[in-house]
Amino acid sequence: MRHIISLLIENESGALSRVAGLFSARGYNIESLNVAMTEDASLSRMTLVTNGSEQVVEQIVKQLNKLIDVVKLIEFAETTHIERELMMVKVKTSSSTRHEIRSLAEIFRGKILDVTATTYVIEVTGPSEKLDAFVAAIEPSTIIEVVRSGPTGISRGEKGLSV
Amino acid sequence: MELSGAQILVQSLKDEGVEYIFGYPGGAVLHLYDAIFQQDAVKHILVRHEQGATHAADGYARATGKPGVVLVTSGPGATNAVTGIATAYMDSIPMVIISGQVPSPVIGSDAFQEVDMVGITRPCVKHNFLVKDVTKLAETVKKAFYVATTGRPGPVVVDIPKDITDPNIKVPYKYPKKVVMRSYQPAVSGDKEQIKKAVELLLGARKPVIYSGGGVVLGEASAELIDFSKLLGFPVTNTLMGLGAYPATDKQFIGMLGMHGTYEANMAMHESDVIIAVGARFDDRVTGKLDMFCPYAKIIHIDIDPASIAKTVKVDVPIVGDVKNVLQHMISLLKDHKDYKNKPQKKALEAWWQQIAEWQAVDCLAFDRGSELIKPQYVIEQLYEVTKGNAYVTSDVGQHQMWAAQYYKFDKPRRWINSGGLGTMGFGLPAAIGVKLAFPDAEVACVTGEASIQMCIQELSTALQYKTPIKIINLNNRYMGMVRQWQEFSYESRYSHSYMDTIPEFVKLAEAYGHVGMRIDKPEQVRGALEEAFALKDRTVFLDIMTDRTENVYPMIEAGKGHHDMKLRVATGTTTDRELA
Ligand SMILES: Cc1cc2nc3c(=O)[nH]c(=O)nc-3n(C[C@H](O)[C@H](O)[C@H](O)COP(=O)(O)OP(=O)(O)OC[C@H]3O[C@@H](n4cnc5c(N)ncnc54)[C@H](O)[C@@H]3O)c2cc1C
Ligand SMILES: Cc1ncc(C[n+]2csc(CCOP(=O)(O)OP(=O)(O)O)c2C)c(N)n1
Ligand SMILES: [Mg+2]
């Protein structure tokens, strides 16, 4: 099953490699991992998506918590949360396909970020499945490049992941 | 007080109460060595190979409970230390390893003797630090000791670039009394509700087993374990790492469990209805095949590391906490419990002990006492008698290690010092030196094999320099016995490279290093030789004992089998086996 884990980690050099190394050393799956600073410069926020049985994910959570640099961790499956991923897609266009692609982007509330005579760059944000659906809706031969951030998540309500 | 980085490091160690550093110099740590030279509070032990430094510090730590400290140079010095760091990591031993690093400005440029020590050791340390700022050095050292010694202990590496120790750059020094780390707060007391649940389960148990491990040694909870076990009257088994945490000569002790554990311990585990794991981690050498592990038992598990709980075996009552604290809590709950007096399971327990006595009657550790050849088991028995069970015994890895574990009856914790998790050949000799430095008046024996001893043999020279008279008991079977045994059982006796054609003359070798060498060929010489060796109080003695080459370690649970399916030796001591299932 897919699990999304979000954590706060000391913003130290090597923090990312500790997390990545843990996954490779213990043979855990990692579907996506993103990391960036937070409002507190001493902390980074990492969101990772993994796949595994309940027992494996329980170990992943414990092993992550065990890393000395990890300050706090939340497994989103346990709480209601919002997930967002950003994607940019570069597609080939021709005069005959431009209109269709534009309306497709509109349906997905996408934005066209860059236009050339023969290409569009489209930005789509949303849960990962929506992004999958958008990619599936485009004629594959027209896709030049797809860039995805991997999901980030935040819990609903007043509770938050902070120190 | 203004000090250079080098002085800060040495002063921090002093303020931390460090007695010994085990190390080896080199370019990146020259400033540090100069600072060490100018003081004598912290004593430096010069080993002959950095692996030896780590094992010696590790032996010191295992015997004393205090962190072992290592100092190595960058590059090859650092990589040589890795085996010893991993050894400590697997057995949760507190150590602080200081490694020199190339100067900060050239890190990443493939500079001379540069290696990414933080990267290399990341998977085998509890934590590591790269020091980037000399003003943070003292605090980092404090954090390193704090992390290494608290919670589930483990090795911590502090990698220090050469410029940080520059004697010309001085900064104010103050060693912090305390550190608080928001990201690291190990649990102490266990969950009250879970502890209550555990107590109910224990009092209702009809076929219980207390399965205790290295965590009891690490958590200094031997006295609590004894109290707890005595209150309940349950059988106690120890893992290889837990030996001594419960006295082996006590009548409730049913021996080690696992692959080379006793028949009674493993059968009891298999038949039990409640087991309580106390600071033990369900290692694969203990569990055997997982789906046959304790099929009828409810499992209670006390461990300070949540990741140890339910890692491989499902647990019914998990208790995250320090074993000493949790056991104390349980003891007080037990004493106040109504069923503690009523003892509703008294009859069932008597029947259980009856059953255990039947298993014990199999006498699974019997061996051929009439043999013309020296039986390794006999040597360990004699060692036990000659040292009156009071020695610190270190070991290497192989058959000799198992025999030492099976036949030396450890009554106290921290006396049995071996590499269990990583199984590192070469551990025994340097570890013995570390132990002897910690306890100069104690008897220290290193039980080893002719293959293992050669992996760190150079430390004989260290033993001479620092006058650490230890007794090396080399069970010389002219084979990598443990490998040969597996080849005999599983590869139709194709002894592929488990033998060396050229084994050194250890007596001469010991003499060349300035020690006493003795060769023993006959069973009747063993006792006298041991007595003679231990009488030479101020000498390191190498006893090269020619043992029966074909001897195997029994009992044994072979790969893929359950606890109830052990390979036993028949009483005559031949290598034909019978299966008791
Ligand atoms: C050749 C060979 C054969 C072997 N055969 C056997 C065998 O037959 N039987 C056997 O038992 N082993 C055997 N071993 C050893 C085995 O590989 C493991 O090292 C050993 O079983 C682990 O012991 P342990 O479970 O006590 O855990 P340890 O490695 O000692 O771990 C201690 C546990 O206690 C926890 N802990 C630490 N401090 C505390 C505290 N203060 N409070 C609470 N919990 C704490 C830790 O988190 C950890 O989970 C063999 C090794 C070799 C090399
Ligand atoms: C560094 C290292 N290399 C290889 C092994 C695998 N191994 C385990 S036991 C053993 C043989 C040990 O032989 P010896 O020291 O003579 O002990 P014996 O089994 O004969 O008592 C080997 C090679 C190991 N444990 N450690
Ligand atoms: Mg041998």
- pLDDT score for B576: 38
Residue of chain B with shortest Cα separation from A70:
B183
Give the residue numbers of B annotated as catalytic, written as ranges. Answer: 50, 112-113, 162, 482
Q: Are B279 and B216 spatial neighbours (Cβ–Cβ below 8 Å)?
A: yes
- pLDDT band at residue B568 using 50, 70 and 90 as cut-offs: very high
Task: Check B184 against A21: CB less than 8 A apart.
Answer: no
Q: Is B545 in the pocket of ligand 2 (CB under 6 A)?
A: no
Out of A10, A25, A63, name the one closest to residue B183 (CB). Answer: A10
Tell me the pLDDT of chain A averaged across its residues. Answer: 94
Ligand nearest to the CA of B402: 1
Q: Are A55 and A28 spatial neighbours (Cβ–Cβ below 8 Å)?
A: no
B283 CA closest ligand 1 atom index: 21
Q: Which fold has domain B376-546?
A: Rossmann fold (3.40.50)
CATH code assigned at A37: 3.30.70.260
- pLDDT band at residue A78 using 50, 70 and 90 as cut-offs: low
**For A138, left (φ over 0), alpha (ψ -120 to 50), or beta?**
beta
- Mean pLDDT confidence for A97-120: 96
Q: Check the CA dihedral B92-B237-B384-B475 and report its sign.
A: negative
In a domain, A159, yes or no: no
What does the pLDDT look like over B402-413, one tens digit per residue? 999 999 999 999
Out of B119, B147, B307, name the one closest to residue A62 (CB). Answer: B307
- pLDDT score for B321: 97
Residues 6+ apart with CB under 8 A from B367: B375, B377, B378, B551, B569, B573
- pLDDT score for B88: 99
Nearest CA residue ID for atom 37, ligand 1: B215
Give the residue extent of every domain in chain B: 2-172, 192-360, 376-546
Intrachain domains B2-172 and B376-546 with the same fold:
yes
- Mean pLDDT confidence for B382-391: 98
Domain boundary among A46, A76, A106: A76
Share of chain B above pLDDT 70, in %: 98
Task: Check A65 against B310: CB less than 8 A apart.
Answer: no
Residues 6+ apart with CB under 8 A from B428: B394, B395, B396, B418, B446, B447, B448, B452, B453, B456
CATH code assigned at A141: 3.30.70.1150
Q: Are B391 and B442 spatial neighbours (Cβ–Cβ below 8 Å)?
A: yes
- Mean pLDDT confidence for A133-137: 97
Task: Check B122 against A62: CB less than 8 A apart.
Answer: no
Reply yes or no: is the peptide bond before residue B440 cis, omega within 30 of 0. no
Task: Check B311 against A71: CB less than 8 A apart.
Answer: no
Q: Same domain, yes or no, for A146 and A90?
A: yes
Task: Check A71 against B183: CB less than 8 A apart.
Answer: yes
- pLDDT score for B30: 98
Q: Are B307 and B318 spatial neighbours (Cβ–Cβ below 8 Å)?
A: no
Tokens 């485009």 label which residue? Answer: A138
In a domain, A160, yes or no: no
Tell me the pLDDT of chain B averaged across its residues. Answer: 96
Q: Same domain, yes or no, for A119 and A144?
A: yes
Q: What phi, psi does B26 have (nearest 5°)?
A: 180, 175
CATH H-level, domain B2-172: superfamily: Thiamin diphosphate (ThDP)-binding fold, Pyr/PP domains (3.40.50.970)
Q: Same domain, yes or no, for A102 and A59?
A: no
B212, B264, B285, B311, best to mutate for ligand 1 pocket (most atoms within 8 Å of CB):
B285
Out of A9, A66, A69, name the one closest to residue B305 (CB). Answer: A66
Chain B residues with CB-CB distance to A63 below 8 A? 307
Q: How many cross-chain Cβ pairs, A to B, lie less than 8 Å apart?
A: 37
Q: Quick check: B357 pLDDT over 70?
A: yes
- pLDDT score for B461: 98
Q: Same domain, yes or no, for A86 and A72?
A: no
* Adjacent-strand bridge partners of B388: none
Q: How far apart are CA B120 and CA B115, in angstroms?
A: 8
Residues 6+ apart with CB under 8 A from B175: B11, B12, B15, B16, B138, B141, B142
Residues 6+ apart with CB under 8 A from A56: A28
- Mean pLDDT confidence for B213-242: 98
Residue of chain B with shortest Cα separation from A23:
B123
In a domain, A41, yes or no: yes
Sheet containing B541-546, strands listed edge to edge, beginning at the edge strand earlier in sequence: B416-417, B392-395, B444-449, B471-476, B541-546, B516-520
| Architecture, CATH, for domain B192-360 | 3-Layer(aba) Sandwich (3.40)
What does the pLDDT look like over B271-305, one tens digit per residue? 999 999 999 999 999 998 999 999 999 999 999 99
Domain boundary among A12, A41, A76: A76
Chain A residues near any Cβ of chain B (below 8 Å): 9-10, 13-14, 17-18, 21, 25, 55, 58-59, 62-63, 65-66, 68-71, 163
Residue A117 in 3-state DSSP?
coil
Q: Is B94 in the pocket of ligand 1 (CB under 6 A)?
A: no
Task: Check A25 against B147: CB less than 8 A apart.
Answer: no
Other beta carbons within 10 angstroms of residue B89's beta carbon come to 21
How far is CA A2 from its chain centroid? 13
Ligand nearest to the CA of B416: 1
Q: How far is CA A73 from CA A9, B3, B300, B460, in A?
A: 9, 40, 26, 49
- Mean pLDDT confidence for B143-150: 98
- Mean pLDDT confidence for B115-132: 98
Q: Same domain, yes or no, for A17 and A67?
A: yes
What does the pLDDT look like over B14-68, one tens digit per residue? 999 999 999 999 999 999 999 999 999 999 999 999 999 999 999 999 999 999 9
What does the pLDDT look like over B439-492, one tens digit per residue? 999 999 999 999 999 999 999 999 999 999 999 999 999 999 999 999 999 999
**Structural domain harbouring A99:** 82-152
Q: Same domain, yes or no, for A43 and A71?
A: yes
- pLDDT band at residue B559 using 50, 70 and 90 as cut-offs: confident
Q: Quick check: B580 pLDDT over 70?
A: no
Q: Same domain, yes or no, for A54 and A105?
A: no
Q: Same domain, yes or no, for A12 and A58?
A: yes
Q: Is B281 in the pocket of ligand 1 (CB under 6 A)?
A: yes
- pLDDT band at residue A160 using 50, 70 and 90 as cut-offs: confident
What is the helix (H) or strand (E) element at residue A57, kind and residue range?
helix A54-66
Nearest CA residue ID for atom 28, ligand 1: B214
- pLDDT score for B578: 38
Q: Quick check: B254 pLDDT over 90?
A: yes
Q: Quick check: B571 pLDDT over 60?
A: no
Residues 6+ apart with CB under 8 A from B38: none
Minimal Cα–Cα distance from B308 to chain A, Å? 9
Q: How far apart are CA B275 and CA B307, in angstroms?
A: 19
Q: Same domain, yes or no, for A126 and A94?
A: yes
What is the helix (H) or strand (E) element at residue A50, kind and residue range?
strand A43-51
In a domain, A157, yes or no: no
Other beta carbons within 10 angstroms of residue B403's beta carbon come to 27
Out of A18, A62, A163, name the one closest to residue B182 (CB). Answer: A163
**CA of residue B122 to ligand 1 center, whole Å:** 21
Q: Check the CA dihedral B342-B345-B348-B350 and report its sign.
A: negative
Q: Same domain, yes or no, for A126 and A145?
A: yes
Q: Which DSSP state fits B219?
A: T
- Mean pLDDT confidence for B527-548: 98
Q: Is B482 in the pocket of ligand 2 (CB under 6 A)?
A: yes
Chain B residues with CB-CB distance to A18 below 8 A? 122
Q: What phi, psi does B255 have (nearest 5°)?
A: 95, 180
Q: Quick check: B572 pLDDT over 50?
A: no
Q: Quick check: B573 pLDDT over 90?
A: no
Tell me what ipTM this predicted complex has.
Answer: 0.93
Nearest CA residue ID for atom 13, ligand 2: B480
What is the helix (H) or strand (E) element at residue B550, kind and residue range?
none
Higher pLDDT, B573 or B422: B422
Minimal Cα–Cα distance from A80 to chain B, Å? 25
- pLDDT score for B482: 98
Q: Same domain, yes or no, for A125 and A91?
A: yes
- pLDDT score for B452: 98
Minimal Cα–Cα distance from A137 to chain B, Å? 43
Q: pTM above the 0.90 mark?
A: yes
What does the pLDDT look like over B41-53, one tens digit per residue? 999 999 999 999 9
Q: Same domain, yes or no, for A58 and A92?
A: no
Domain count of the fold of chain A: 2
Task: Check B127 against A68: CB less than 8 A apart.
Answer: yes
Higher pLDDT, B319 or A12: B319
